[in-house]
Structures are given as structure tokens and as C-alpha cells.
Amino acid sequence: MREHSRARIAFTYLFLSIVGVGFIYPLIWLFFSSFKPNQEIFESIGLIPSTFVGDAYSKGWNGLGKVNFGDFFLNTFILVIPTVLMTAISSMAVGYGFARFQFPLKSFLFSILLATLMLPEAVVIIPRYILFRELGWLNTYMPFYVPAILAVNAFFVFLLVQFIRGLPRDLDEAAIVDGCNSFQILVKIIVPLAVPALVSVCIFQFIWRWNDFFEALIFINSVTKYPISLGLRMTLDAEGAVNWNSVMAMTVLSILPCIAVFFAAQRYFVEGIATTGIKG
């Protein structure tokens, strides 16, 4: 029986390893392709290049004209970091309100909030564009900052509502006995316990906003304000002959922040997704 159990575990690990290699192989291929000659990249799916090209990263980083990828990375951080922080703060505030307070039309408003999850992007992008144009926010990062401040992403609010609902109300009552008001309960009790959920919100928003191409293309039209997603696409449009090894090199650099953020906060991310509060 014990040998059968060991064989099953070994088979499970072998199967998961094969699947894992299948998923990660495109990333490995991408990395090695950044060192291949331009004409060799699409000739095979093999990893090792026949001739190593060492200047793809330096040529790719220099970009085109007066704008290089250092500018694109800086623009992306200026766009993404405030958006992530404001999303976490506003979503926590709104989630706390729905989870802990009673007010008129609470159920109706929460239903309306969840209903926005069903709206496809194509339905709302034109009204949003017209609104931001009338406000004079086009070609700025305000179309990203302001919605983050107003907690317009219902998914994050719903995630935090579900997490806070799982926290015992006895904690709130004990804090009230100690003289805490609602804001102090949020800051001193709810937020520390909701760190896994907040980290999940930040990771989701960071990766989604970092990789966003469509909204950045709609709202930003100045090359000097392009994030990395538009910068990569511009390198394909600007020249007749594309230096694919340089494009691969910059693509490798562009995904490194997302990978680093995910693995740095992986423990909190898994806990925030897998749990809905304190149990036991």
C-alpha cells in the first residue's frame, strides 16, 4: 500500500513537472531568442542559438529617436504604481462600507456594483473616451488615476467585501469597547487582517495595468508618455525590417517586474485568494 502511494505521488510530480515545463517553455524560448541572430529566431523552436548576439539588449534599450525604453519604463511606473495604491485604498474603503455598515439601498447599490462586471469593455470605452475628452484628460494619466480613486473596479471591491465579511464582528465590538471609532477599526483591525486580500488586489491591478495595451492606446497619444506596452508595439511599426532579437530582449525586460512582484508576494496572494477570513 505504501509503495502504491509513493508511486502515485511520483507520477503526480512527474505529470506536474511536464505540464510546468510546457507552460514555461515559451518564456525560456523568449529569453534565448533575444541572443539569436535575427534570421534564426523563427526558423526553429530550439533554445540554443547557433551564434550568440550580445548587443540586442543595448540596441533595444536605445529605442527609436529621442525616446528610449528607459523612458517607457519610467512612464509605466508613473502610471502603474499610483494606480495600484489608489485602487487598494479606495477598494478597501468601499468594501469596508458594504461589509460592515447598514444604509439605505445597500443591497441595490451592491447589486448595481456587481452588475458592472457584466459590461464588456467595448460598451463603456466610447462614453469614457467622450467624458475624458470633455474633461481635458486625454493624453494624461488621469483616465487611469481617477477611476482608481473612485474604486470603479467591482471585482476588487467584491473580493475585499467577501474577505471582510469573513472576519468576526467580535473584533469590531472589542475595538469599540476600547474606544475606537469606525475609521480606527478599519485602520487598526481590518486592514492588518486583510493584508493577503489587499496584496491580491495590488498584484492583479499591477499586472493588468502593466500589460494594458488597449486603454493606453485610446487615452495616450504622445510618444513621450507611452508605457512599455505601446513602446514595444511602436518598435514594430517604426521600421521596415524589425530587429526581432531586440524586440525579444525588451519583452524579456518588460515581463521581469511582473514576475518579481508575483513571486515576492506569492504567499500573501495564495492566502488572499484561498481564504475568506479567519476560520476556527
- Segment 53-81, tens digit of pLDDT: 888 888 888 877 778 899 999 999 999 99
User: Has residue 270 been placed in a domain?
Assistant: yes
CA pair distance 32, 24, nearest whole angstrom: 13
User: Has residue 127 been placed in a domain?
Assistant: yes
User: Has residue 11 been placed in a domain?
Assistant: no
The contacts of residue 191 (CB under 8 Å, 6+ apart) are 92, 198
User: Has residue 155 been placed in a domain?
Assistant: yes
CA angle 129, 134, 137 (to 5 degrees): 70
Q: Which residue has the cell 512599455?
A: 228
Instruction: Using the predicted structure, report yes or no on whether residue 9 has a pLDDT greater than 90.
Output: no
C-beta separation of 35 from 53 below 8 A: yes
- Segment 133-166, tens digit of pLDDT: 999 999 999 999 999 999 999 999 999 998 898 8
Q: What count of residues does the chain have?
A: 280
For the whole model, what pTM was predicted?
Answer: 0.87
The contacts of residue 232 (CB under 8 Å, 6+ apart) are 247, 250, 251, 254
Mean pLDDT of 110-114: 91
Amino acid type, 263: F
How many folded domains does the chain comprise?
1
**Tell me, what's the pLDDT at 187?**
92
User: Has residue 261 been placed in a domain?
Assistant: yes
Instruction: Using the predicted structure, report yes or no on whether residue 210 has a pLDDT greater than 90.
Output: yes
CA pair distance 198, 268, nearest whole angstrom: 9
Return the minimum-mean-pLDDT range out of 119-123, 152-156, 189-193, 239-243.
Answer: 239-243
Q: CA 91 from chain center: how many Å? A: 15
User: Has residue 173 been placed in a domain?
Assistant: yes
**Tell me, what's the pLDDT at 158?**
92
**Tell me, what's the pLDDT at 240?**
59
Instruction: Using the predicted structure, report yes or no on whether residue 252 has a pLDDT greater than 80.
Output: yes
User: Has residue 216 been placed in a domain?
Assistant: yes
User: Has residue 39 been placed in a domain?
Assistant: no
The contacts of residue 154 (CB under 8 Å, 6+ apart) are 113, 114, 116, 117
pLDDT band with cut points at 50, 70 and 90 for residue 278: very low
CATH of residue 92:
1.10.3720.10
The residue range of the domain holding 270 is: 65-274
- Segment 212-224, tens digit of pLDDT: 999 999 999 988 9
